[in-house]
Amino acid sequence: MTLTTFALIRHGQTDWNAERRLQGSTDIPLNDVGRGQARDAVAAVSGYEWDAVVSSPLGRAAETAELIADGLGLNVTRHIPALVERSFGDAEGLQDGPELKALRIPGGFRGAETEDEAALRGLAALESLAEEFHGGRVLVVAHGTLLRLSLNRAIGRRLERIENAVLNLAHHHPADGWQLEYLNGQPVAAAAMS
């Protein structure tokens, strides 16, 4: 059984994360806490030999990937546009409140990318990497909602949250699909992976 292993890591914290604002595809940089989280993430992935380090092109993910790659003595292989965060449209930058509530529609926000669109885009990017690096190990730095929605579709169950700069470890097999081994730095029970 030839598995392709993925470390799926959400970028480190930004000021908008700390302020609980929707970021989406708005390019908000890491803050100092986020840079520290990225450096700390090196320990979680250092036990593996990585064939590639890739990231979303948005600054917060790209910088997180650079900090992790530097800590591992590697380089970021490339930035993949399909790994950008789900677009939340006019809701980006807003905190919970009346203005945000006015934009809500079933399944998201008016003018935003749908959950299905984001999940399909993210999963297609991961499956393309699985094909390219068949049987290898790929470290991916992207975004919380995109990773959560992509994993939901891949493993057929609903995950609640992807934490900043912690290890999510998944395996892809061409015939058997996806298995999630670690979620938010914690082992996932074997029964929950099917």
- Residue-level pLDDT at 34: 98
* Residue 12, annotated as binding a ligand: yes
What distances in angstroms separate CA 167 from CA 64, 91, 111, 144, 187, one per listed residue?
Answer: 13, 28, 32, 12, 10
Convert the pLDDT of each residue in 141-180 to its tens digit. 999 999 999 999 999 999 999 999 999 999 999 999 999 9
Model pLDDT, residue 107 = 83
Residue 106 DSSP symbol: T
The predicted pLDDT at position 1 comes to 63
Residue 17 labeled ligand binder: yes
Q: 18: burial class by Cβ within 10 Å (0-12, 13-18, 19+)?
A: exposed
- Annotated binding residue 23: no
Mean of all residue pLDDT scores within the chain: 95
Is residue 2 marked as binding?
A: no
Torsion of Cα atoms, 38 then 184 then 62 then 15, to 10°: -70
Spell out, as residue ranges, where the chain has pLDDT lower than 70.
1, 190-194
The residue extents of the domains of the chain are 4-187
Which residues are catalytically annotated? 11, 85
What percentage of the chain's residues is helix, strand, coil (to nearest 5)?
A: 40, 20, 40
Q: Collapsing DSSP states into helix, strand and coil, what is residue 22?
A: coil
Topology, domain 4-187? Rossmann fold (3.40.50)
The pTM is what?
Answer: 0.95
